[in-house]
Amino acid sequence: MAVTVLYEKDVDPKVIQGLKVAIIGYGSQGHAHALNLMDSGVDVRVGLREGSKNWKIAEDHGLKVTTMDQAAEEADVIMILIPDEIQKDVYKEHIEKHLKPGNTLAFAHGFNIHYGYIKAPEGVNVIMAAPKGPGHIVRRQFTEGSGVPDLACVQQDATGNAWDIVLSYCWALGGARAGIIKATFAEETEEDLFGEQAVLCGGLVSLVTTGFQTLVDAGYPPELAYFECYHEMKMIVDLMYESGIHFMNYSISNTAEYGEYYAGPMVINEESKKAMDVILKRIQNGEFAKEFMDDCANGHKKLLEQREAMNGSLIETTGAKIRGMFSWLNSDKED
């Protein structure tokens, strides 16, 4: 394999256990990093805005909580886990002034460093520990004894041991159980944005909703269309995730497998490949980052319009009704 993958035997836990870590933010990634690090014997404090509703929640989880300024002042390693679009302002206001030579600034996604929104001072390490999974799964799998793989990256190695720090941090997150993959900030940022846009979130949601709409337009009941194009998706993906496409194909009928080979390339075709190339180009040349940041500066106008349209769509209202009838699903959580 061209990439380097490291596991528990390759990493020294004592490096991160010997440092003070500040986790800025207690959202999806923040709660997972803070709790996993605490359970891994790391000296963690969570830095939050005064009056944040997460303050009591994090304290109830057994964590030390303080202001962002105080956390950044105390810590050797400052991990920024707040939404990408506000990181540059929060960095300027609450973090930059507390950075001392030998400190480490850490991220879970390379957006702000790669596109130049945050410029760390010389003398400070810049690292990334990026779990390849949503924060709630990072926490859940850790408590279950497994782990989500991490990408580990070093942009600036001021102390000469930035790699030891990031690998040890990933160990504490549980990533060494599944594999820590060495990468660069550019690789992580670009492939992460591409994956979520073209395949995982953008591609998947469009595929599911377009399939659903095709059946509904043809007069089939929305509930049946939901089961067919949405509900079954997880079962198929679980089989692929656990044992490969060949095993998923083995589990489905020959009829379904034949249909897969003939219909799949009709749906995702040369045009789709060209669209993916355009998406990747816009990520690589910074056009996407600029468009997103402009929308954020404009009060998230486009994002909120799209979100409202999605939340009110037939597939969403149909899904909410159906999931409400499943006894085993505590469904439709806010977070």
* Sites of contact with ligand NAD (CB under 6 A): 25-30, 48-49, 52, 54, 81-84, 86, 90, 108-109, 130-131, 134-135
Residue 54 contact, options Mg ion, ligand NAD, none, Cβ 5-8 Å cut-off depending on partner type: ligand NAD
Which lies closer to ligand NAD via its Cβ, residue 81 or residue 105? 81
31, 94, 109, 114: which one is catalytic? 109
Q: CA 115 → CA 87, 88, 112, 185, distances in Å? A: 12, 11, 6, 10
Please state the φ and ψ torsions of residue 6, each to the nearest 5 degrees.
-115, 150
Q: Does 192 bind Mg ion (CB under 5 A)?
A: yes
Gyration radius of the chain's alpha carbons: 22
Which lies closer to Mg ion via its Cβ, residue 12 or residue 196? 196
Distance between CA atoms of 137 and 116, rounded to whole angstroms? 29
Name the helix (H) or strand (E) containing 23. strand 20-24
**Minimum Å distance from CB 115 to ligand NAD?**
12
DSSP state of 163: H
Q: Does 43 bind Mg ion (CB under 5 A)?
A: no
Active site residue 109: yes
Which lies closer to ligand NAD via its Cβ, residue 35 or residue 48? 48
Q: Which amino acid is at 314?
A: L
Contact 126, 154 (CB under 8 A): yes
Q: Which residue is nearest to Mg ion (CB)?
A: 192
Residue 188 contact, options Mg ion, ligand NAD, none, Cβ 5-8 Å cut-off depending on partner type: none
Which lies closer to ligand NAD via its Cβ, residue 199 or residue 256? 199
DSSP state of 120: P
Burial class (CB in 10 A: 0-12, 13-18, 19+), 187: middle
**Minimum Å distance from CB 192 to Mg ion?**
4
Please state the φ and ψ torsions of residue 159, each to the nearest 5 degrees.
-95, -10
**What tokens appear for 30 in the block?**
């923040």
**Minimum Å distance from CB 40 to ligand NAD?**
19
- Total residues in contact with Mg ion, by rule CB under 5 A: 2
**Minimum Å distance from CB 128 to ligand NAD?**
9
Q: For binding to Mg ion (CB under 5 A), which residues are involved? A: 192, 196
Which are the catalytic amino acids?
109
